[in-house]
Copies of this chain bind each other. A is one copy, B any other.
Amino acid sequence: MSQFRQDPIVGRWVIVATERAAKPQEIVQQTRRESLQACPFCEGQEEETTAELLAVRPASTAADGPGWQVRVIPNKYPAVTSDGETARCGWGFQREVQGVGAHEVIVECPQHETNLARLPAAHVADVLRAYRDRFKHHKRDQRIAYALLFKNYGALAGASMEHCHSQILATPIVPELIGEELAGSWEFHQRNNRCVYCALVEEELDGGARVVVQTANYAVLCPFASRFPFEMWLVPLRHQEHFDDERDDDFAELAEVLTTVLGRLAAVLNDPAYNFYLHTSPLHAGATPHYHWHLEIFPRLAQLAGFEHGGGMFINPIPPEDAAALLRP
């Protein structure tokens, strides 16, 4: 079983996931090996994967057989697993808890398409609904504090499989960056009695220089302090705290916005590798008037180097105003 270990100086948690690789060489070779085999995520290859947890498929088709549109399965190389209790954390320099949680893959289409940007928006709405339904599922598990949804597209973005997919990693600990956002937005709310994301979006729509897309309910903007060239944040205009509170009829518009900006990213930067991830309130946080879900998207154009790793400070050669001008449809 994997372990969550805490750094004694800064409090940063790490998952030591021994089930992912038996030998050092395998870390390096895993990516290569997988890409040589037939794609297990394609329709018809269901017996090559773990058993499905959820699928968008007609009632006439059987689980773990063909006929599906979206399929959620446990990750074959999980960083965390769901057996066991969440132990309390110990004292001293070696604080650790058991690696209880879930690690799932959302296979986003049956055919061998690689980029979500090229799927029809109506299909992507089903994908987003599957994300939401998995959040609802994890919310029922009191051992799990947070479910982080993320996508790795392309080898440079850390993807080991080509076939269009995202992942959910559900953990007993709220990841550090979400903790920082919760703390910062809490402080803003205490001072201003307002959600910082609501205030920020209002100011950005007012100015407009960093806005990529605006629809009735969503905006996509290149944030003022973008860490990465062409970084984008997709934010609901209304104050929305939990992604799993999104209703079925929100997803058509959201899918349209997401495929539009991912399509622009592919068009402007020649189909780059990219990541996106969803930041939402912790599953059991209840009402969070200070916090607002959003999706952060960024292409992987350059390697992060020693300065970024060593300082946690980023160097961005493209001002977000220029990026937004190029990305705007």
Taking beta carbons and an 8 Å cutoff, which residues of A are in contact with B?
A: 5-18, 20-21, 24, 27-28, 31, 79, 93-94, 148, 150-152, 155-159, 167, 169, 171, 173, 175-178, 180-181, 183-185, 188, 196-197, 199-200, 203, 223-227, 229-230, 268-269, 275-279, 296, 298, 300-320, 326
**Is there contact, CB below 8 Å, between B175 and A312?**
yes
**Is there contact, CB below 8 Å, between A184 and B9?**
yes
A12, A31, A268, A303 pick with most chain B CB within 10 angstroms = A303
Q: Are A93 and B224 CB-contacts (below 8 A) given A79-B315, A311-B176, A316-B15?
A: yes
Chain B residue nearest to A320 (CB atoms) is B16
Q: Are A307 and B167 CB-contacts (below 8 A) given A224-B5, A301-B27, A318-B27?
A: yes
24 pairs from A and B in contact (CB 8 Å cutoff) = A10-B181, A14-B225, A15-B314, A15-B315, A16-B317, A18-B318, A21-B318, A24-B269, A27-B301, A28-B269, A28-B302, A79-B307, A79-B315, A93-B200, A152-B305, A155-B303, A156-B303, A159-B305, A167-B307, A177-B311, A177-B313, A275-B306, A277-B307, A300-B303
- Residues of chain B contacted by A305 (CB below 8 angstroms): 150, 152, 157-159, 275
Copies in the complex: 2
- Residues of chain B contacted by A9 (CB below 8 angstroms): 181, 184-185, 188, 196-197, 200
Q: Which of these, B21, B175, B224, B229, contacts A8 with CB under 8 Å?
A: B224
Complex Cα distance A150/B303, Å? 14
Q: Is the interface of A mostly helix, strand, loop or mixed?
A: mixed
**Is there contact, CB below 8 Å, between B16 and A319?**
yes
Complex Cα distance A269/B309, Å? 20
Q: Are A184 and B318 CB-contacts (below 8 A) given A229-B27, A269-B24, A306-B151?
A: no
Chain B residue nearest to A313 (CB atoms) is B175
**Is there contact, CB below 8 Å, between A176 and B315?**
no
Q: Which of these, B12, B150, B278, B316, contacts A312 with CB under 8 Å?
A: B12
**Is there contact, CB below 8 Å, between B309 and A277?**
yes
- Residues of chain B contacted by A303 (CB below 8 angstroms): 155-158, 300
Closest 4 CB pairs of A and B: A158-B305, A277-B310, A175-B311, A150-B306
